[in-house]
A and B are shown apart, each in its own frame.
Chain A
Amino acid sequence: MRFLLRTLSLSYVRRHLAKTILTLLGVVVGVATFSSIESAKGTLVKGIRSTVDRVAGKAQLQIIMEGGVPEEVQEQVRALPGIRATSPVIEQIVIPEKGELGSLMVIGIDLLGDREMRDYGFEGDDADLDDPLLFLAQPDSAIFTRQFAEKAGLKSGDSLAIKAPKGVKLVKARGLLTPKGFAEAFGGNLMVVDVYAAQELFGRGRRFDRIDVRLDEGTSVAQGIATLEKALGPAYRVETPGKRGEQIEKIVTNFVAGFNISSGFALAIGIFLIFNAFNVAVNRRRRDIGTLRALGATPRQVQLLFLAEALVIGIIGGILGTLAGSAFSQAFLRMMGQTSETLYGVTSSGTVRLVPLVVLQSMFLGVAASLIGAWGPALSASRISPTEAFAKGAFQAAVPGRSALRIAAGVATLGSAVVMALKPPFGGNPFIFVELLLGGAGIVLLVGPLSRLLLHHLVQLVTRFAPVAGRLSGDALLGNARRTSGTIMAMALSLTFVLGLGGYMGSTKKALERWMNDSLTCELFVRASANFNRPDFLFPGGLRDELLQLPGVKSVESFRVNRPLYQGRQIQVASIEIAPLLERMKYDFTQGDVETMRRGLTREGKCAVSDNFSRRYKLGIGQQVELAAPGGKVRFTIAAVVRDYASDQGTVLLDRSQFLRYWQDDRVDIYDVSLHPDANVGQVRDHIRARLAGRYPALISTRQEFIAEITKAIDAFYALTRVTLFLALLVAFLGIVTALLISVAERTREIGILKALGALPAQLARGIVLEALLLALAGLVLALPAGNLFASFMEGPLAELFTGWIMPHFYPWEILLQLTIALPLISAFAAWVPARQAGRMKIVEAIEYE
């Protein structure tokens, strides 16, 4: 086998190097996508977990409450039995003014009481702070790691400018940490400040982000949790740092799950490229196969030869894909890190390293994709009899199997996928993927027979307008059904993916835009923090009255969001003054109406829930939602279910009075300001800005600016999806180019015969270009319904499973238009070069071509 590989296979590769490289690229792109995403995800998760562990130090438990832990809780906890030490913590990621230094994690701690919790490893002669009292007396004091200080060129006493919520702040280095243990958290980009200074700096009021707890030696973690939960009530979460790390890992893993589907599709398209290339290779080398068989090669030896070639392609594709993936992974990490920081307030600053498991997985995927793609052609090769192999044209003339059986099987599998999607038998992940697989298999089975039918009619149509070129292309396409359907299959699958994923993205975006237009209806939005998901500053509740007094202001609503855990998921509890809100906002009700909502929320102490919350937890009007408030568990009856896209985990909406009553927290995320009709938006904005200047951070946006900002955030969320979409398009175009190059080279002998019969080079070229266009058109026409079905599947069952939302369907006309322009151009280009070569071919050589 090695001899055959070294001689026969290698020489084939040498003769068809360009086509082999294109085929290889299909595997490389698929593997690179997988490898880069997995490496970046692994590094992100590892970095976050390492940071969580290092910052936790010797703390065994952490007390957390949505909205912050009040200061007095520390005293309460310290007095409990089994507690050795407690330490308050505030954590915040900031950006230094010199952006090139990277994100900086600020840890606010009680420096005097924290030694029980963390080993600081101070540097300097007295191995401690230069002057602890001065440090605490000056609110701008900060400690940096030596690593960061060297990077930023800081010495003790130097200042660093950071972007804080209230504007740029100067902090002064008053101590350095040895880069080990705690100081290695967040890749060493760490700044330690006094926790009370951090409260002021980041607008936490008299609250901490959490309290770290160290237990007495005789107290177990379980005992500690039980004691704390009993003393603090259901609104507080008591968990180990490890558990917190696990939760973050789960969030990040869910966040990147969608990208694994994308890399799976890239690989699936790669499989078709391999399938196509091997089909053609078998066809082209059938005389060699015949000779080998005549010389005594067994069918198994022939099959193994092709599979060994596929194995080599898989290994090379796997290696190159893994290397390419490691080159892209840093960029992926940056994008994922930004998104996870924006959405979840956690990130990691690290360098991606290829881990052996990802290398092995990537190699396995490359090899598996290659072997799966080559399996069918290799089997066909082993079944070629020597007599058939020596008969010229016998293979090309071979007709594919019976269409009726294939169509019936395709309709059955696709139909069962659609039925399962519409009426899920059990639900859950495994069945979603069964539906996806059945749908894919149905499309694969149907594309062959449907493409023949479609081409038959297309050729008839085209022949009316271009008789010679139409007939030539028709003969080529319909004469070799096997090659034609293989090419169309690869193209249709790629385009299905592009139209499906693009359609899903487009529909989601349109639904969000429509919702924003209906819900963001006031003229100005006053925010204290740019990060909506993890605000670093909240306004005091009393500010509303001040804003109401400003000229031009008609009404002000105080919007506050809490993100507690509900049945293990982080939902959103939003509160606002409901009565004025309903005057200006158009809710899309799926249960109830505006009256039941107004009455229920303002007079009866009920809540409204989002449609995805209702679907996820199977709760509707009249049923109750139990939420954990600081005073204990509170039950709210559902008065209405509304379409709402604020949280993919679900939203519960309360009137502000209810929130104030049960949460005892009047802070506000956003003030929604409505103006009198004759008021000037710019002037009112200036008034608000002047009123808040020097007191609070204030981001004041008009409705258009706010919508634009959210749209930008949505776009950022889809950035990775767009990258994978681009990769899928790249693979799709690679497929088209490869298939057409091979297709034209395949017909060299036929072209020679046509020339011998008097065909002109221009006629041949037109015929080949037309053939390419017909192939692309057939692929696109078949992909239209398939892509639409795939998009509907993603918008319906898949979106519902992951988010609870069912997105309204909008056809991706924009992408279709782009494809309609790009595909003919690419196809014509792909066909033009070989068509010219064919036109210049010497007749005698072409006729003898095998």
Chain B
Amino acid sequence: MLKLHDVIKTYAGKSEVKALAGINLAIGTGEMVAIMGPSGSGKSTLLNLLGGLDVPTSGQVIVAGTDLAGESEKGRSLFRRSTVSYIFQAYHLMPTLKVRQNVALPLHLAGMAATVIEEKVTRALQDVGLEARGNHLPDELSGGERQRAAIARALVTDAPLLLADEPTGNLDSARGAEILELLRTINRERGTTIVIVTHDHNAASACARLIRLRDGRVEGDSAVAGGGV
């Protein structure tokens, strides 16, 4: 599903910052992988590259057979629309849209018919247990519910790759456990490849594989004992 070859990412500025210093990595279809590391290790940069939000300075980022480094801005947008879905720590729900509308947003961007959108949104909300909260604004939901809504928005496109940036970072431990359980279910039942960037050991232990980053390099890559079960 994912292949990174000699990926380097530097940020220009008064002094150049090397966020990723030569990453080589492969993640198979249907895997659930956690990426951990201290602040500044390059976790978020790596996730941005995997999702086509950013491009590497050099190297190859091949996702579902597409080398994102060579894609145009528009090509990467269309790629995201069809292949990747996101979950963010801060949810990034549109505050002025109701939950149903938030979930429907990527389908509207893809220009789908209203009846299909309605059907897919209802199913996605059912999958995350939020069917009763569809007509509420994000402000009216708890943190866990907001993240569920964000997951529903990620699920609704049936994208084969789900990228999660600190999905439990804003939640208490009980709500965090619920979200992790939901992600595992999605991985198990739908076969969705999931990559989670996290500081949370509980989140990491929910995954089958753990990749550790330090100073922009892969420090360790191992299976998680009992993870993903």
Contact = CB atoms under 8 A, between A and B. Distances in A.
B78 interface: yes
A385 B77 contact: no
B195 to A, nearest CB: 15
Contact of B80 (A287, A290, A296, A299): A296
Contacts of A288: 94
A291 B94 contact: yes
A295 B101 contact: no
A40 B71 CA distance: 57
Contact of A387 (B54, B109, B110): B54
B160 interface: no
Contacts of A387: 48, 53-54
B71 to A, nearest CB: 12
Contact of A300 (B74, B80, B106): B74
B181 interface: no
B80 A7 contact: no
B57 to A, nearest CB: 14
A74 B119 CA distance: 90
B104 to A, nearest CB: 8
Interface in A357-403: 385-387, 390
Nearest to B53: A386
Given A4-B108, A387-B54, A295 B97 contact: no
Contacts of B97: 7-8, 11
Contacts of A386: 48, 53
Interface in B91-124: 92, 94, 96-97, 101, 104-106, 108-110
A760 interface: no
B153 interface: yes
A155 B107 CA distance: 77
B108 A296 contact: no
A315 to B, nearest CB: 22
Contacts of B153: 295
Interface in A1-60: 3-4, 7-8, 11-12, 14-15
Nearest to A295: B106
A691 to B, nearest CB: 84
Contacts of A12: 96
A15 B96 CA distance: 9
A820 B203 CA distance: 64
A7 B101 CA distance: 8
B92 A291 contact: yes
B108 A298 contact: no
Contacts of A295: 80-81, 86, 105-106, 109, 153
Given A294-B86, A296-B81, A297-B109, A385 B96 contact: no
Contacts of B86: 294-295
A64 interface: no
A300 B108 CA distance: 15
Nearest to A301: B109
B179 to A, nearest CB: 19
A387 B45 CA distance: 9
Contacts of B106: 295-296
A4 B101 CA distance: 10
Contact of A294 (B53, B82, B94, B110): B53
A11 B96 contact: yes
A390 B44 CA distance: 12
Nearest to B110: A296
B82 A296 contact: yes
Contacts of A3: 101, 104, 108
Nearest to B137: A11
Contacts of B176: none
B93 to A, nearest CB: 8
Nearest to B101: A7
Nearest to A293: B77
Most buried by B among A14, A287, A390: A390
Contacts of A301: 77, 109
Contact of B92 (A4, A7, A294): A294
Interface in A182-241: none
Interface string B64-95: 00000000011001101110001010001010
Most buried by B among A3, A293, A295, A385: A295
A710 B96 CA distance: 62
B51 interface: yes
- Classify the interface of chain A: helix, strand, loop or mixed: helix
A823 B177 CA distance: 59
Most buried by B among A3, A12, A287, A296: A296
A741 B157 CA distance: 40
A296 B73 contact: no
Interface in B138-152: none
Most buried by B among A4, A290, A386: A386
A292 B107 CA distance: 11
Nearest to B85: A295
A849 to B, nearest CB: 12
Interface in B178-209: none
B73 to A, nearest CB: 5
Contact of A298 (B78, B104, B157): B78
Contacts of B73: 298-299
A3 B101 CA distance: 9
A390 B106 CA distance: 18
Contacts of A300: 74
A656 B86 CA distance: 94
A385 B54 contact: yes
Most buried by B among A14, A292, A298, A385: A298
Nearest to A15: B96
A298 B110 contact: no
A299 B74 contact: yes
Contacts of B92: 287, 290-291, 294, 390
Interface in A762-783: none
Nearest to B51: A294
B226 to A, nearest CB: 32
Contacts of A291: 92, 94
Contacts of A290: 92
Given A4-B108, A8-B94, A296 B78 contact: yes
A385 B92 CA distance: 15
Nearest to A285: B94
A298 B105 contact: no
A397 to B, nearest CB: 11
A758 B82 CA distance: 49
Contacts of A11: 96-97
B83 to A, nearest CB: 9
A3 to B, nearest CB: 4
Nearest to A299: B73
A8 B80 contact: no
Most buried by A among B86, B97, B104, B109: B109
Nearest to B48: A387
Contacts of B104: 3
Nearest to A290: B92
Given A7-B96, A12-B96, A387-B54, A292 B74 contact: no
A290 B105 CA distance: 13
A696 B199 CA distance: 105
Interface string A144-177: 0000000000000000000000000000000000
B105 A292 contact: yes
B96 A299 contact: no
Nearest to B97: A7
A12 B97 CA distance: 11
Contacts of B51: 294
Given A293-B80, A390-B92, 5 more contacts: A7-B97, A15-B96, A294-B86, A295-B106, A297-B77
State the 4 A-B residue pairs at the shortest beta-carbon distance, nearest first: A296-B81, A11-B96, A298-B77, A295-B106
15 contacts: A3-B104, A4-B108, A14-B96, A290-B92, A291-B92, A293-B77, A294-B80, A295-B105, A295-B153, A297-B109, A299-B74, A301-B77, A386-B48, A386-B53, A387-B54
Interface of B: 48, 51, 53-54, 73-74, 77-78, 80-82, 86, 88, 92, 94, 96-97, 101, 104-106, 108-110, 153, 157
